[in-house]
Structure 1
Amino acid sequence: MEKVKVMIVDDSKISRAMLEGNLKKTNFEVCAMAANAAEAVQLYAEHRPAVVTMDMNLPDADGIECSQRIRAIDSDAKIVMISAMKDASLVAKGREAGISAFMQKPINTNDLIDTLMMLCQNKVGKVAVLRESYAKPFARALQQGLFSLVGVHSEVEVELDERRFLDVSGVAVIIGLTGYPVGRAIVSMEADTMHKFSMIMLDKESLEDITEEEASESVEESANIIVGRGVSNINDIFKDKEMRITPPGTICGSNIRIASPKLTTFRIVAKTRIGDISMNVGFAEGD
């Protein structure tokens, strides 16, 4: 895949170096760096990057004025404000100037990549955007949630799932995703893993102390928390496209088949000492 060009505007040499380091080994390539507004406008005209990261405080103008100058050259310019400040007044003024997104220093590398991917989706492709900006935040939520809920460490894998059916034996918790993008998340595991999971979560001494109802309800509540955390991770970045979750529905049994038509779906698997715990996240096609 061709690299997507990024221009960094920041008067701090250290900040410029840190941002450039954050973008290494990604689909993004730093094509220019500017230390002031005049230089930023000149370099933008020369390089026409796909996206600009913009500091608020520059020696010859603030980031909002610099953004306005750039958008006078290119009204479609995509600009991410990265500043030590991030208050409501600043965001409102930035929106009026055409700034696309706002991040506060120090920034998280994953959040930065998620933001750039979303803004440059026409260049990086729909599947890449959904994987990086939406599926991976759910993968982080699954990994973090398993540790916080039951103290289980995990190795997490994310892959595109082109199957039109999800086959489950054990338990599957289905949670709808509303807002943008619309979709659904399914957390599933085998029966043996379900019982071990609930035993730890409910602090029981043995598997015999867990009823089937307690086991399934423990997984349902955990799935609701994990998927909710994933949605919150996404909403923290994309303020204007808020996602929400619907109440969970749980199915228990063997040879459960769940269809996923017209969804771009990712299979997320957390490998743990009590067994594999899966999350299948699908997003509706189209805008």
Structure 2
Amino acid sequence: MEKVRIMIVDDSRVSRTMLANELNRTNFEVVAQAKNAAEAVSLYEKMHPALVTMDMNLPDADGIECSRRIYDVDPAAKIVMISAMKDASLITRGREVGISAFLQKPVSTNELIDTLMTLCQTEVGKVAVLRESYAKAFVRALSQGIFSIAGLHSEVGLELDNRRFIDVSGVAVIIGLTGYPQGRAIFYMDKETQRKFSAIMLGKESVEDVTEDEAAEAVEEAANIIVGRGISNINNIFKDKEMRITPPGTISGRNIRIASPKLTTFRIEAVTPAGNIYMNIGFAEGD
């Protein structure tokens, strides 16, 4: 997904750097940074960012006046005021010139991202947000986890999965995701892949040396580790809305059908020497 281009306006180099570091780790690309109003207007005309974050205190004009000048250039500009102050008078004055939203320092990463994403729904839809900010964290976790657990290299792909049912023949481990966004993860593979993967994971010389119980326990533990790693990847960025996992539940057999009602779901496939390993990550619709 193409990243959303954003400009930061703040007289503090430290604040600009901190904000840029947070944004560049998510769905945004910081294309310009301005330390005063004159520079902000000039850079806006040159770069035409999709969004602007605006500090209130600037050396040559306040943030509201700077915003007014940007709106003179582009009446459709989307500006978010990020200020140490957030009172009714400031919000009223800002609304009068057209400022879209107001956040108070120190702003949390998740609050900032949620606000910016809400403002740029024409550029980025909900599915793209979930894919880039959340599902891709599980792609990394699956690839890294398979290698760290079993020493297997893999080619990993991600795609939107619109199916309302997931059909599994083999073993599936289901783990709930709590916090924000809520959802569930399903880690699954066919029976042959389960036997090979568990044998490698447990250091057995042959698949015949692995019992049914050992194979089931090995896959369940692998799922718990990999999904937990994915959650950690997300929490490292979104520190204020911590996600957690519920205890895993394992089912096995042929023609297992698992429903995915009211979930935005992504299918992750890892092609490994032991066979294909899958994760289905579903996020609940709404907040």
Q: Same fold (TM over 0.5)?
A: yes
Equivalent residues in 2 for 1:106-145 (5 A)? 119-121=116-118, 122=121, 123-145=123-145
1:65 CA displacement: 5.1
In 2 relative to 1, CA 272–208 (structure 1 residues): closer, same or farther, beyond 3 Å?
same
Separation (CA, whole Å) in 2 of partners of 1:3 and 1:198: 39
1:37 CA displacement: 3.5
Q: Determine helix, strand or coil for the equivalent of 2:157.
A: strand
Corresponding residue number in structure 2 for 1:97: 105
Corresponding residue number in structure 2 for 1:77: 80
Q: Determine helix, strand or coil for the equivalent of 1:237.
A: coil
Q: Determine helix, strand or coil for the equivalent of 1:167.
A: strand
CA contact (8 A) 2:138 2:227 kept: yes
CA contact (8 A) 2:56 2:63 kept: no
Letter in 1 for 2:209: D
In 2 relative to 1, CA 223–119 (structure 1 residues): closer, same or farther, beyond 3 Å?
farther
1:38 CA displacement: 4.3
Pairs aligned (count):
242
1:5 CA displacement: 3.1
Instruction: Report Cα offsets for 1:167-210 as digits up to 9, x if no partner.
Output: 00110000001111110000000111111111111111111110
In 2 relative to 1, CA 119–142 (structure 1 residues): closer, same or farther, beyond 3 Å?
farther
Separation (CA, whole Å) in 1 of partners of 2:13 and 2:34: 4
Separation (CA, whole Å) in 1 of partners of 2:2 and 2:205: 55
In 2 relative to 1, CA 40–226 (structure 1 residues): closer, same or farther, beyond 3 Å?
farther
1:216 CA displacement: 0.7
Instruction: Provide the identity percentage.
Output: 62
Separation (CA, whole Å) in 1 of partners of 2:236 and 2:2: 28
1:266 CA displacement: 0.4
Q: Does 1:210 align with 2:210?
A: yes
Separation (CA, whole Å) in 1 of partners of 2:145 and 2:56: 38
1:235 CA displacement: 1.0
Letter in 2 for 1:101: T
CA contact (8 A) 2:264 2:282 kept: yes
Separation (CA, whole Å) in 1 of partners of 2:221 and 2:49: 45
CA contact (8 A) 2:3 2:29 kept: yes
Letter in 2 for 1:249: G
Separation (CA, whole Å) in 2 of partners of 1:44 and 1:98: 25
Q: Determine helix, strand or coil for the equivalent of 1:229.
A: helix
CA RMSD of aligned residues (A): 3.7
Separation (CA, whole Å) in 1 of partners of 2:115 and 2:161: 21
Separation (CA, whole Å) in 1 of partners of 2:114 and 2:104: 22
In 2 relative to 1, CA 200–141 (structure 1 residues): closer, same or farther, beyond 3 Å?
same
Separation (CA, whole Å) in 2 of partners of 1:213 and 1:284: 32
List runs of 5+ in structure 1 lacking aligned partners.
55-62, 80-94, 103-114
Q: Using structure 2 for the length normalisation, give the TM-score.
A: 0.71
Separation (CA, whole Å) in 1 of partners of 2:209 and 2:2: 56
Instruction: Report Cα offsets for 1:194-249 as digits up to 9, x if no partner.
Output: 11111111111111110011001101011011101111111111122211110000
1:53 CA displacement: 7.6
1:286 CA displacement: 1.2
Equivalent residues in 2 for 1:49-198 (5 A)? 49-52=49-52, 69-70=62-63, 77=80, 96-97=104-105, 99-101=107-109, 119-121=116-118, 122=121, 123-198=123-198
Separation (CA, whole Å) in 1 of partners of 2:241 and 2:164: 27
Q: Which of 1 and 2 has greater Rg?
A: 2
Q: Determine helix, strand or coil for the equivalent of 2:244.
A: strand
Letter in 2 for 1:183: G
Letter in 1 for 2:149: L
CA contact (8 A) 2:183 2:283 kept: yes
Corresponding residue number in structure 2 for 1:233: 233
Corresponding residue number in structure 1 for 2:32: 33
Corresponding residue number in structure 2 for 1:105: none
1:73 CA displacement: 5.8
Q: Determine helix, strand or coil for the equivalent of 1:267.
A: strand
1:34 CA displacement: 3.5
